[in-house]
Amino acid sequence: MPAKLSVNLNAVAMLRNRRDLPWPSVTGIGRIALRAGAHGLTVHPRPDQRHIRFSDLPEIRALIDDEFPDREFNIEGYPSEEFLRLVEGAEPEQVTLVPDDPAQATSDHGWDFVRDADFLRPIVRRLKQRGFRVSLFCDPDVDEAALRAAKATGADRVELYTGPYGACHDSPEKAAKALETLCKTAERAAALGLAVNAGHDLTVANLPALAARIPGLAEVSIGHALTADALEHGMAETVQRFLRAAGHDLGQAG
Ligand SMILES: CC(=O)[C@@H](O)[C@H](O)COP(=O)(O)O
Ligand SMILES: NCC(=O)COP(=O)(O)O
């Protein structure tokens, strides 16, 4: 079965936050993504709410419950007490724990599973007691001992950080090497009984090779490139809508 696609709404939220106006609607774009067949929605709320606002979470939960009950809500973030309470209120199907510093522009590394095991274990237990699947953000090149430590936290999955793979967009040789690294880590994780997700800077161009090389990949979460593509592929039609709104007669062609 191909990897499931969870659409990350952070970039949409960032665009919305440029103005004190309700568009683009994070929930509305989420609805379009789910109607188009996405398997779930991902958000990564950060403490400063610079993109996803805490108030977005109940709305997205209600969207899935009311209109798409077979889809999943994935919430990613650093497990501060504030984050954990937010997650417990939103009852996602999956929580992805990410070792982000609040000052980080975006996620750029996974957990040090050996060092962070004692910190993660009670948090994973708490989340799993509430019935949420738990995934841990994981560097692309992690050895077996570290993955054993990840498994021992009680987590169900790891999410491979694919940023370095995405950064190889201008070098097929480097991309192939980065992919081999990811593949080895995925195989080690799977051998220990951890399911494997992946995300960060995945694109229509680099996803096929990843999916082919990691056949058991459970889920990819994609936001930045997917939002950029939505703008690019929706731009011509949208310009025509605005031309019509301004009174231009575009005839049959428009
Ligand atoms: C964990 C991860 O890789 C994503 O959550 C990523 O951080 C998306 O967040 P931004 O789009 O806000 O950078
Ligand atoms: N977990 C990764 C994610 O949700 C989206 O990352 P990106 O596609 O915005 O880089």
Of 6, 13, 88, nearest to 41 by C-alpha is 6
Q: pLDDT value at position 251? A: 85
List pLDDT tens digits, range 223-237. 999 999 999 999 999
Say which ligand is closest to the CA of 51. Answer: 1
In a domain, 184, yes or no: yes
Pocket residue to mutate for ligand 1, from 56, 107, 221, most atoms within 8 A of Cβ? 107
In a domain, 186, yes or no: yes
Query: How many angstroms separate the alpha carbon of residue 234 from the centre of ligand 1?
Result: 23
| Domain tally, the chain | 1
pLDDT band at 102 (very low <50, low <70, confident <90, very high): confident
Q: Give the separation between CA 130 and CA 132, rounded to whole angstroms.
A: 6
pLDDT above 90 (res 254): no
Contact 132, 155 (CB under 8 A): no
Domain span including residue 94: 4-223
In a domain, 239, yes or no: no
Residue 83 sits in a domain of what CATH number? 3.20.20.70
Of 147, 242, 164, 150, nearest to 206 by C-alpha is 164
Indicate the burial class of 181 (C-beta count within 10 angstroms; 0-12, 13-18, 19 or more).
Answer: middle
pTM above 0.90, yes or no: yes
Q: Tell me which of 44, 72, 159, 219 is the catalytic residue.
A: 44
In a domain, 243, yes or no: no
